[in-house]
Amino acid sequence: MEKTRDIRYFDHAATSWPKPAEVVEAVNRALTETGGNPGRGAHTFALAATRAVSDARIAVASLLGIAESRDVFFVPGCTEALNLVLKGTLAPGDRVVVSSVEHNAIVRPLTVLAAAGVEVVKVRGDAEGRIDPDDVETAVRQAPTRAVICQHASNVTGAIQPVGDLADIAHDNGAVMIVDGAQAAGHLALDLSALGADAYAVAGHKGLLGPQGIGVLYLAPGFEPTELVQGGGGADAHDPSQPKDRPERYEAGTGNTPGAIGLGAAASLLAHRGAEIRATERRLTRALHEGLLGIPGVTVLGPPPGEARVPIVSVTVTWMGPDELAATLDRRYGIMTRAGVHCSPWTHETVGTGAAGAVRFAPGHGTTDDDIAAALDAMGELAK
């Protein structure tokens, strides 16, 4: 993958860049060659589009370890997927247990639901942003609980949460397990049919290397939240009620067909190259983490080197505020990071950076040894 010279892109956690040529070509083909509306009509292009989306669904299911592709729903993004599950599951009087390190994609819908009478019980993470299953178990056992909600990986600390253990705790206590997998998909090998989550929400445009505007919701067989929107789907058009069949139930209206096809191409690419990309990401993330720890005045958030994390290394420094540091890295060195609280004020509050936040370095599929060296050189120079 060719890179533009002197661009050091360290914001893969916001969105991965550049998109692989295979993804660009698939989106292009969807826009120019198979341009029909999937599931609508029986002419050549409509059938080609139907087949292409079905193939994309199968590729995504296979990559994420989902046994039946009908349990994969193409949605506009991880945020929409989480809204669907939370609002389609929870009713006034329900109680949920949620970690204190969630993104606003969970915090904000929960705020709406809390105002409507859902009880929200927060379990606090430790200073590195990890959630202890024992704390979740204690909270769940205190009163009947409808759902346990937790991210799989943090967009601030990179910490990986024990969501499989949390799913067991949820199920042992009659609750469902809802997981935000925005920062895990693509960066961790996933086997969702075995993980135990009843719902797992994924962004297509981050580690999965797909376009923006497409995400995936996985719902375990038998878990049937109420759909967020109702409308046309091609089948059973005489019935005024939303069909209950999968995937039609959760995909009313014309979807992001080019996005779904692009994501399918990304999933096929990751099926072949994912292990190699993940190994490189892990090696470079560790080198960045250890290098940053060696620079005077730098504090790295999250678990120590050696402990598993997704490719995210967030820092605070004694010599500059986060906004000034990110702006200086960009303007002077072409290093693109993200400053602030990363839509996760709860997480920053948990790890002690609630006021000004931090600067996040997020390497990804295109990052090289040279990029890591350039980032460490720049930080070393600024520290002087």
Contact call for residue 145 and ligand PMP (CB under 6 A): no
Residue numbers 11-50 binding ligand PMP by CB under 6 A: none
Task: Note whether 100 binds ligand PMP by CB under 6 A.
Answer: no
343 is catalytic: yes
Residue 78: CB minimum distance to ligand PMP, A: 4
Angle between helices 163-172 and 133-141 (to 10 degrees): 20
What b/e string do you get for 312-335 counting C-beta neighbours within 10 Å, with b at 16 or more?
bbbbbbeebebeebbeebbeebeb
Strand partners, 359: 315, 339
# residues contacting ligand PMP (CB under 6 A): 12
The answer to the question of residue 83 lying near ligand PMP (CB under 6 A) is no
Query: Hey, what are 324's tokens?
Result: 């000034």
Q: Which stretch binds ligand PMP (CB under 6 A): 84-92, 177-185, 220-228, 368-376?
A: 177-185
| Residue of the chain from 118, 123, 182, 270 that contacts ligand PMP (CB under 6 A) | 182
What's the rounded Cα separation, in Å, for the pair 319 and 225?
49
> Closest approach of Cβ 89 to ligand PMP, in Å?
17
Helices (H), the chain: 21-32, 44-64, 78-89, 104-115, 133-141, 163-172, 192-195, 257-293, 322-333, 345-351, 369-383
For the beta carbon of residue 25, count every other beta carbon within 10 angstroms. 12
Asked whether position 337 contacts ligand PMP by CB under 6 A, the answer is no
Binding status of residue 151 toward ligand PMP by CB under 6 A: yes
Query: Helix, strand, or coil here: 382?
Result: helix
- Rule CB under 6 A: choose which of 16, 83, 89, 183 binds ligand PMP: 183
Task: Tell me if 258 contacts ligand PMP by CB under 6 A.
Answer: no
Q: Is 358 in the site for ligand PMP (CB under 6 A)?
A: no
Query: Which residues, including other chains, have CB under 8 Å from residue 230's CB and lie 6 or more apart?
Result: 241, 242, 252
Q: Out of 120, 343, 374, 383, which one is annotated catalytic?
A: 343
Query: Is 207 a binder of ligand PMP (CB under 6 A)?
Result: no
Tell me which residues touch ligand PMP (CB under 6 A).
77-79, 103, 105, 151, 155, 180, 182-183, 203, 343
**Hey, which residues are catalytic here?**
343
